[in-house]
Amino acid sequence: MKTFREWSLIAGLVASAAGFVGSADAAVEVTKKPWGKTPDGTAVDLYTLKNAKGAEATITNYGGIVVTLLMPDRTGKLGDIVLGYDNLQGYIDKTPYFGALIGRYGNRIGGAQFSIDGKTYTLAKNDGPNSLHGGVKGFDKVVWNARPLESAEGAALELTYLSKDGEEGFPGNLQVTAVYTLTNNNELKLTFAAVTDKPTVVNLTHHSYFNLRGQGDGDILGHEVMIASSKTTPVDKTLITTGELASVEGTPFDFRKPTTIGARINDPDTVLQYGPGYDHNWVIDKQPGELGLHASVYEPTSGRLMLVISDEPGLQFYAGNFLDGTIKGKGGVAYQHRTGFCMEPQHYPDSPNKPQFPSVVLRPGETYKNTIIYRFSTR
């Protein structure tokens, strides 16, 4: 099995992640079509991005959701590798954040409250006693303004949204920009930026459920995962971080060498039962703000390899523990237990209440920035 250093060399990650430039003559394309309306009558659109190699992504401006992502297997055959629905109504009726843009705060905030400069802000409790993924109506459930962009890297779509002061309990008018690029290097590249007029907290991330064999094609337990991390942030029974950093050495959380998801997921001697399964944050072994490799995932049947690259300090790895067959997705397929996984680069959970963690506070005059790249190839 390859080590982290070997994976890094394979990735060639620093130079190419910093800005792959495709041919000026690349046959890239962005098309748009109506995709229904929200319950309040707001029109929603679906955008299709195609790159010069034939890969394709469809993205809706409802929640910034990646609806489909078509990438080739080792034979060159395209397959959709993200879980989701065939229509807008599915995402409106019931979704565990399939493919969504998550904010204002990705992951959990303990006790559904936090303080800035001595003032306490109260949020919605939508995950037991905690606030999860921005509240009852987070960024995954709003309609964003959208426009195609010209990019040397590939087909691109810009989404913008003004989250008003007090929305879901968060302070400050937050202006957010998200750019999705399907690069000609078969990457889905997400770049986020935000500014505010009051001190607030921000932690944006992406929540696609991947299955590299193809959505709806069995479980993900045979996928081989490497995570560039020697520490995790342990959690309590409500999945709130304790504030400690714990070594992965000798635990089922040690993915420093590629290991199948299913190899140790049911280990009873760990806090995995709080998932039950992997639903934890790994502390990435690099400096915060430095663009680097977070993880690799390889699926041996299809030959697809996904590298996860970001400048965020943490990675939430979720193994689809709560999928239970009640959701029928694309083509009417029932999504069973552990048939998709998420790799969510972000700041650590409950950082607003953990001053020892990297700060998530954004103040007027500052700009929040975050880059997430999912790079695909085969072997």
Q: pLDDT per residue over 12-52, tens digit each?
A: 433 333 333 333 344 679 999 999 999 999 999 999 999 99
Domain count, the chain: 1
Q: What is the pLDDT of residues 150-160, one digit of tens each?
A: 899 999 999 99
* Token pair recorded at residue 102: 């998550």
Q: Write out the residue range of the structural domain in which residue 37 sits.
A: 4-378
Catalytic residue among 153, 167, 168, 344: 344
Q: Which residues of the chain have pLDDT under 50?
A: 1-26
pLDDT at 275: 65
pTM: 0.93
Encoded tokens for 49: 């991005």
Specify the pLDDT at position 11: 40
Check residue 161 and give its pLDDT: 98
% of residues, the chain, pLDDT over 90: 87
Run of H or E residues at 90: helix 88-93
> Is 344 in the active site?
yes
| pLDDT value, residue 150 | 87
In this structure, what CATH number is given to the domain that contains residue 201?
2.70.98.10
What pLDDT was estimated at residue 229?
Answer: 98
Catalytic residue among 133, 207, 223, 280: 207
Strand partners, 102: 205
> Amino acid identity, residue 186?
N
What SS3 state is found at 177? Answer: strand
Residue 310 to residue 295: CA distance in whole angstroms? 10
The answer to whether residues 206 and 372 touch, using CB atoms and an 8 Å cutoff, is: yes
> What is the token pair recorded at 200?
């607030």
Token pair, residue 243, equals: 């504030």
pLDDT of residue 308: 98
* Token output for 61: 């401006």
153/10 Cα distance (integer angstroms) = 21
DSSP states of 8-57: HHHHTHHHHHTT----TT---EEEEEEEEE-TT--EEEEEEEE-TTS-EE
pLDDT of residue 49: 98
Q: ∠ CA(335), CA(238), CA(249), 5° rounding?
A: 85
CB-based burial of residue 287 (10 Å sphere; 0-12 exposed, 13-18 middle, 19+ buried)? exposed
Based on the residue annotation, tell me whether 207 is a catalytic residue of this protein: yes
